[in-house]
Structure 1
Amino acid sequence: MELPVAYQLLRTHLQARVRLSDDDFAVFQQYLQPLTLRKRQHLLQAGEPCTHLAFVTQGCLRCYSLNAQGQEHTLQFAPEDWWVSDMYSLLTQQPSALHIDALEDAQVLLLAQADMETVYARFPVFERYFRLLMQSRFVALQERVNAALSQSAGEKYQHFLRKYPGIAQRVPQHFIASYLGITPESLSRVRRQL
């Protein structure tokens, strides 16, 4: 039987990273819950505990925080083929400090935190996959902190373009400036110089 497109995308994503049998994926997909989000709709709001990992199969989501003055600080963009979540809240079950919303109409596959241990126990391949995913996230976080401390605005923007190809044409520039930690005016200058 042919898989729906969303599940095909996830299957391809997983198989590029770990060996996965048809039977393993057939059972794994039973733990996934499809969800459609409209543009600007929240997947998670600050103050709520994060209970799911979300794999984006269509559209683009954004993870951000708000400071005391109400300024947004974008932490991550999640286009198709990316996972998004508040990992701190997911793992500690503390209220989230982050918001996750859809920048475009989007579709995601949700994996509940409550099901993750069951999946790990039944299918060691998924424990390996999620360990690799967490390692990748840790490396990306370290790169991001280092870039914030040592790179120029132009270098940060060029790194952004490599990390998120095509996103610059899909999301408002002020969100990109927020991700880079610079003002929209500085981003405009950098873009003109490039």
Structure 2
Amino acid sequence: MYDLIFKHLEEKVSLSQADKELIMTFFKPKKLKKKQFLLVEGHACKYMAFVNKGLLKAYNVDDKGNEHINQFSPEGWWTSDMSSFFSGENAFYSIDAIEDSEVLLITSEDFENLTLQVPVMDRYFRLLFQNSLITKERRLISSHTHTAEEKYKYILENNPNLIRRIPQNLLASYLGLSPETLSRLKKNAVFTVK
């Protein structure tokens, strides 16, 4: 259950066996069925989740009932409404499972204790949050400056395995496109999923 998270952690920091044993005590495993919620927009986010198996999406819903997807989280990714997780305020996003999934959950209190008791985890999360910030900034710039074709090509080149798992309507929402526009792009594209 913890092999993937340790592999992911050790890509950024070194862990002793004692560190690993202590880290496991801070996480609670949870299984989610397809379409089951981990977090509902408007409620406080109690957990940050590491995706051990499956695929989740983080999104908000506008006044017309349209989903606007912020993030897909496959195996090896973290997901949460970070603002709510750290502040205790209500979440801006909902998070649910696209596939049957298994996650490892940590509360904000346990997060603080983990980073104090295993100091190398403080460095790990700093690196993780830095990378997340860079990714979100690039995505924001892309949403304002790239054409629909450029957005689609970018995600095909950088996440080909993920694209195969995501229904077209969800991918369109993530890219800020209508399903019809995405369908047209796929039909006319000179580039394909590898």
State the TM-score bracket (shorter-chain normalisation): over 0.9
CA distance in structure 2 between the aligned counterparts of 1:118 and 1:163, rounded to whole angstroms: 35
The one-letter code matched in structure 2 to 1:136 is N
Show structure 2 runs of 5+ residues with no match.
190-194
Q: CA deviation at 1:117?
A: 1.2
Structure 1 residues 121-130 or 158-167, which shifts more?
158-167
| 1:163-192 deviations in Å (ceiling 9; x for gaps) | 433122112100000000010011011112
TM-score by length of 1: 0.95
2:111 corresponds in structure 1 to 116
The one-letter code matched in structure 1 to 2:124 is Y
Alignment of 1:40-59 (within 5 A): 40-59=35-54
Aligned residues: 189
CA distance in structure 1 between the aligned counterparts of 2:162 and 2:121, rounded to whole angstroms: 29
Task: Give the root-mean-square deviation of aligned CA atoms.
Answer: 0.9
1:14 corresponds in structure 2 to 9
Q: CA deviation at 1:97?
A: 1.6
Q: CA deviation at 1:108?
A: 0.3
| 1:18-44 deviations in Å (ceiling 9; x for gaps) | 111111011011111000000000000
* SS across alignment from 2:68: strand
CA distance in structure 1 between the aligned counterparts of 2:96 and 2:26, rounded to whole angstroms: 23
Q: CA deviation at 1:76?
A: 0.3
CA distance in structure 1 between the aligned counterparts of 2:108 and 2:153, rounded to whole angstroms: 35
| 1:141-169 deviations in Å (ceiling 9; x for gaps) | 10000000000111111222244331221
CA distance in structure 1 between the aligned counterparts of 2:81 and 2:159, rounded to whole angstroms: 19
* SS across alignment from 2:15: coil
Structure 1 residues 136-145 or 160-169, which shifts more?
160-169
- Identity, % of aligned positions: 39
| 1:5-24 deviations in Å (ceiling 9; x for gaps) | x2001111100111111110
CA distance in structure 2 between the aligned counterparts of 1:57 and 1:76, rounded to whole angstroms: 16
* SS across alignment from 2:109: helix
User: Residue 100 of structure 2 is aligned with which of 99, 105, 110?
Assistant: 105
Structure 1 residues 156-165 or 175-184, which shifts more?
156-165
User: Residue 148 of structure 2 is aligned with which of 153, 163, 175?
Assistant: 153
* SS across alignment from 2:116: helix
* SS across alignment from 1:178: helix
2:32 corresponds in structure 1 to 37
CA distance in structure 1 between the aligned counterparts of 2:157 and 2:47, rounded to whole angstroms: 28
1:3 corresponds in structure 2 to none
TM-score by length of 2: 0.95
